[in-house]
Amino acid sequence: MKIHEYQAREIFARYGIPVTDWVLCYNEAEVTAAVEKIGLPVVVKAQVLTGGRGKAGGVKFATTLEKAQDATRNILGMKIKEYTVEKLIVADGVEIKSEFYVGLTIDRISKSVLVMASKEGGMEIEEVAKTNPDAILKYPVDPDLGMTPFLARKIAFALFDDYALVKQAASILQKLYQIFIDTDATLVEVNPLVITDKDELYAIDGKMTFDDNALYRQKEIYALNEPTEDELKEIQAKEKGLSYIRLDGSIGCMVNGAGLAMATMDMIKLYGGSPANFLDIGGSSNPRKVIEAMNLLLSDKNVKVVMINIFGGITRCDDVAKGLLIALEQIKTSIPIVIRLSGTNAKEGLEILKETDLTVVETMSEAAQKAISLINAKPLKHTAI
């Protein structure tokens, strides 16, 4: 789960990390009031749940009120990737002497929280990682010890020469680590962390993402969730025990297991088709789930053919077949359905489907090829990935 910059700023401020003054605004009048409150110059920044705001023109520096108002008119309503800008912040346009990067994430290799720090602040860290990987310093944090004062100092000394700044940075690092642990974050990033003309450190941007598995114990964080329409569909699916991600192809997929679901999508592409979605119905064989899954698949108007790929382990193929029969009775679709059942109770499952007009195949390759041939039989516009 992601949150907005202004929400990250609120969390930072609550933990005592110095953040430049800001005001959240939804319209020009609020921006005018904000500029009066904060004083010029200011930065007007779009608040959307995606990166690349600067490149898209969603961040503007303004030295006069008129320029701030102009920027507001440009930014509100602007589209950044798939997000429409509905709110922005007006932030203090402090004088910057230099910019740094500090980020905390989880490292799969050391199985610990990893601090990344760099003097190349302000740029996207992924860019730095590609062009100048040595400029990113990495420090794993021992989970038993946490961010000790000496580790925080060590990292700070690697970034700053002035001891006054080292002390400020070490304190910020300890607070960032505490935030990471307290909120079950997967990423806490300050980019840039700046030295102002008064030789003080400030966070002038913040990015945070959170562990979806831990949201059950992070009620305050979860309350900040602003899902997009597609994400809302994904959340609703998850509540029903389904894992759904919409894509832009024409073959609707229903598979049990995430890995097999991905491999199924790959197979469709390998044979020249394009998947309309990722849909993992999980390990249970409740027929209700199959019904929900069919409803979800067919709610996507791009779907021209449905491909079901089940390898029964815990999932029993006969239960899937039963669910499918009930679903088809309820939904009454003319969309062709290709189904492959293998594994636990496959024979019984196939027996149940014998009287239907579903296309039954034996392997995953066959299922993909058959599904594609059924789309090609009709005049459709083909969506490439």
Instruction: Exactly one of 101, 139, 202, 244 is catalytic; name it.
Output: 101
CB of 382 vs another protein, minimal distance in Å? 15
Looking up tokens 């007007």, which residue turns up?
44
Binding mask 199-218 for another protein (x = CB under 8 A): ------------xxxx-xx-
Binds another protein by CB under 8 A, chosen from 93, 192, 275, 323: 275
Can residue 256 be called a binding residue for another protein (CB under 8 A)? yes
Q: What is the DSSP letter of 135?
A: G
Q: Which stretch binds another protein (CB under 8 A): 84-92, 155-163, 266-274, 371-379?
A: 266-274
In whole angstroms, what is the distance from residue 191 CA to residue 5 CA?
Answer: 11
CB under 8 Å to 131, separation ≥6 — which residues? none
Q: Do residues 83 and 50 touch, judged by C-beta distance below 8 A? A: yes
In whole angstroms, what is the distance from residue 100 CA to residue 112 CA?
Answer: 23
Which of 16/283 has CB closer to another protein? 283
CB under 8 Å to 219, separation ≥6 — which residues? none
Q: Which stretch binds another protein (CB under 8 A): 12-20, 122-130, 221-229, 293-301?
A: 122-130
User: Is position 189 annotated as part of the catalytic site?
Assistant: yes
Q: Do residues 53 and 15 touch, judged by C-beta distance below 8 A? A: no
Give me the residues paired with residue 309 across strands: 255, 340
Can residue 220 be called a binding residue for another protein (CB under 8 A)? no
Can residue 78 be called a binding residue for another protein (CB under 8 A)? no
Can residue 106 be called a binding residue for another protein (CB under 8 A)? yes
For 201-221, b/e burial (b = at least 16 CB within 10 A) is bbbbbbbbbbeeeeeeebeeb
Q: 185 vs 2, 10, 47, 176, 272, CA distance in Å?
A: 10, 15, 20, 10, 39
Can residue 342 be called a binding residue for another protein (CB under 8 A)? yes
Q: Which stretch binds another protein (CB under 8 A): 10-18, 68-76, 89-97, 109-117?
A: 109-117
- For residue 192, say if its preceding peptide bond is cis, omega within 30 degrees of 0: yes
Which of 93/275 has CB closer to another protein? 275
Q: Which stretch binds another protein (CB under 8 A): 155-163, 165-173, 287-295, 342-350?
A: 342-350
User: Is position 329 annotated as part of the catalytic site?
Assistant: no
**Binding residues vs another protein (CB under 8 A):** 106, 108-109, 111-113, 126, 129-130, 142-144, 181, 184, 186, 211-214, 216-217, 243, 245, 247, 255-263, 265-270, 274-275, 278, 280, 283, 311-315, 342-344, 363-365, 385
